[in-house]
Amino acid sequence: MNIGKAIKKIRTENGMSQEDFSQIFYVTRQTVSNWENGKSYPDLNTIVKISDRFGVSLDRLLREDLDMINDISEKTASGIKWNRLRRTVFTVISVIVIFLLITLTVYGIIWISRKNSLEKNFSQNVYSLGFAESPERYYILQQNDETYVLPHQEMPSFWDFSTDFHAKYLDCRFSTEQYDFNIRISGDMYSLDITDNTSQQIYYLRLDSSGNITPAPAYDSDLPGFKEKYSAEISQVLQNGIYIYNTAYGKRTV
């Protein structure tokens, strides 16, 4: 006897209609009809409830119903596989989350330590060099006819994932009657802007670490005698600037 026939026998022996039977187990009358006709099976929890409600052994309900047993076995196996998959996914996600939390915590400790030391050292170095902060939050140092300008520096935000200042540079400025010079030092990069106060023409040039203009000047025809007249001063200001830059940014102590 399969389970459908067993359910029908239990129902009729107790003088119940399909509607009466369905109400006990909170299903529809059509569901009970499908059970009895073998179109579907009750789940294992409902089978246990039928057994308890009518005092019928599970052995009697399930005996010889191989399709039902196989269906329950497949569902049970699928449930076990699904539970294993969920546990595996949960474990993987948990490991990733824990790893990220640990990584962010370690990075946060490094970032805070780096921020405090970097900003403190920069401030100390700048003031030890004699810089004064302007209302625009630039640091300015005046030496003879030369002006050195540093930006106000702060560590980038935590989420920039950087442990150094974004833009480290120093501007070295000096002027003659005809020209305004600005040498920018940024790491190992050196550039020179020359403004001709008469024509307002601006020349953008590059320097090597010795103050030599590179590549070979193509402006000799516009600025005759410029190289001979100003190269020594450009070189001297650049050397002063390199020392100030390295000291301010902690590459050299004062």
Q: pLDDT of 47-56, one tens digit each?
A: 888 888 888 8
Are 203 and 223 in contact by the 8 Å Cβ rule? The answer is yes
Greater confidence (44 vs 230) lies with 230
Lowest mean pLDDT among 119-123, 147-151, 154-158, 223-227: 223-227
Q: Angle at Cα 86 formed by Cα 85 and Cα 92, nearest 5°?
A: 90
Identify which of 216, 233, 243 has the alpha carbon closest to the alpha carbon of residue 181: 233
Q: For position 69, what pLDDT does the model report? A: 58
Give the pairing type, strands 179-186 and 170-175: antiparallel
CA atoms of 79 and 52, how far apart (whole Å): 24
CA atoms of 192 and 3, how far apart (whole Å): 94
Helices (H), 129-254: 226-248
| Residue 100 identity | L
- In this structure, the number of other CB atoms found within 10 A of the CB of residue 38 comes to 14
* Mean pLDDT, range 227-231, rounded to an integer: 84
> What's the pTM?
0.64
* Mean pLDDT, range 123-149, rounded to an integer: 95
Q: How many CA atoms lie within 13 A of 125 on its CB side?
A: 21
Is residue 248 predicted with pLDDT exceeding 90?
yes
Are 247 and 254 in contact by the 8 Å Cβ rule? The answer is yes
CA atoms of 12 and 23, how far apart (whole Å): 15
* Mean pLDDT, range 92-115, rounded to an integer: 94
Q: How many CA atoms lie within 13 A of 38 on its CB side?
A: 8
Residue 80 banded pLDDT, cuts 50, 70, 90: low
Is residue 213 predicted with pLDDT exceeding 90?
no
User: Encoding tokens for residue 190?
Assistant: 């050196």
